[in-house]
Amino acid sequence: MHKITIRLEEEDEIWALFDQSLAHIFVADFCPEEAARWDLAQIQIGRHPLLQDIMVRHLRFDVHTDLEGLQKLLAFGTRHLRVYQSKQPISQSLEPKYLKAASREKILAQNGIRHFFFLSYEFVEVESFDADFIASLEARFNCI
């Protein structure tokens, strides 16, 4: 896998990192509110009843979405994101955080993952199976 680290200069640079040709997005352990406080929420999962006007905190979940959904997630302003881009829908059983280092790249490739982004404040670590994609990022961003 090819890797680089990018230092973002402006907030709007985040969106420009992503490969617009890959519509399948997996965000691992999305945490919409990083502060430990109670927030009013409505939650409905599958066919379970809608929970309205409940207070939640420390909410964390995986998200499978498309590029439009990713744009909405980025609007939360969360500064710690683990984003995988894939050429196919994400498998029900794929949980990257549990993969052993020795087999991680092979399993991600078998599942159609092309790029991985770890955003942490103004730094972004990018891993990709595509050397040309990494080269295009190096040409457009401040790499460290």
Q: What's the pLDDT tens digit per position in 75-133?
A: 988 889 999 999 999 999 999 999 999 999 999 999 999 999 999 988 999 999 999 99
CB 92 within 8 A of CB 41: no
Which residues neighbour 96 within 8 Å (Cβ) at sequence distance 6 or greater? Answer: 28, 82, 84, 104, 108, 116
Based on C-alpha coordinates, what's the Rg of the chain? 16
What proportion of the chain, given as a percentage, has pLDDT over 70?
A: 100
Q: Give residue 99's pLDDT.
A: 93
Whole-number Å distance between alpha carbons of 88 and 19: 14
- Whole-model pTM: value is 0.92
Residue 38 has pLDDT above 90, yes or no: yes
Range of the domain at 81: 2-140
Helix, strand, coil percentages (3-state) for the chain, rounded to 5, are 25, 35, 40
Both structure tokens of 49:
């009843």
Q: Specify the number of domains making up the chain.
A: 1
